[in-house]
Amino acid sequence: MVDVLSPTDGVEHSSIIASNQEFQTHLLRHGASVINGRLHDVQIAPETRLVEHMLWGFEILWELNSESLEYGAIVLEGVRDTIDFMVNGELRASYDVAKRVKTMQMPVHPWAGPPRYALRRETVYRKWRKWLDERRKLMDQGLEFDPKRPVQIIFL
């Protein structure tokens, strides 16, 4: 669970990615709004802006495609049930990790390459997936498991 609380320092928080001074003197002049205009909208509470930004990044991981599987795998390997994002104790989004693992398929790589590359990706993915399923089963039972992945990189 991630619960982002309202700031208690009394500062306006014009931006959640820079101090007010940095925001006014540098980022506004150099196109900070290109990043995401909502990050700098003072009409939206800073804690809400922060959670929205965190959710944007988490959604990229959650896709578990050929670009994000390596990073999203950390979530699948380490979280048993759900990840909840909250603002001041109010639920904003919930991700069911256990369900995602059960429904997850091997990502399709946008560039297939020679057949041997596809075979290598499938072999490595299947080895990792078998280890992941065994690891999660042991986690559910409260038992110890080998934390070392059987493969260094899951998807090339």
Produce one character per residue of 5-38: b if its CB has 16 or more CB atoms within 10 Å, e if not.
eeeeeeeebbbbebeeeebeeebeeeebeeeeee
Q: Is the per-residue pLDDT at 21 higher than 80? A: no
77 band by pLDDT with thresholds 50, 70 and 90:
very high
Q: What is the pLDDT of residues 116-131, one digit of tens each?
A: 888 888 899 999 999 9
Contact 139, 145 (CB under 8 A): yes
User: In which element (H, E) is residue 83 found?
Assistant: strand 82-87
Mean pLDDT of 36-41: 67
Mean pLDDT of 128-138: 96
Q: Which of 25-39, 95-109, 112-126 has the lowest mean pLDDT?
A: 25-39
pLDDT at 22: 64
20 band by pLDDT with thresholds 50, 70 and 90:
low
Mean pLDDT of 124-151: 94
Domain ranges of the chain: 2-105
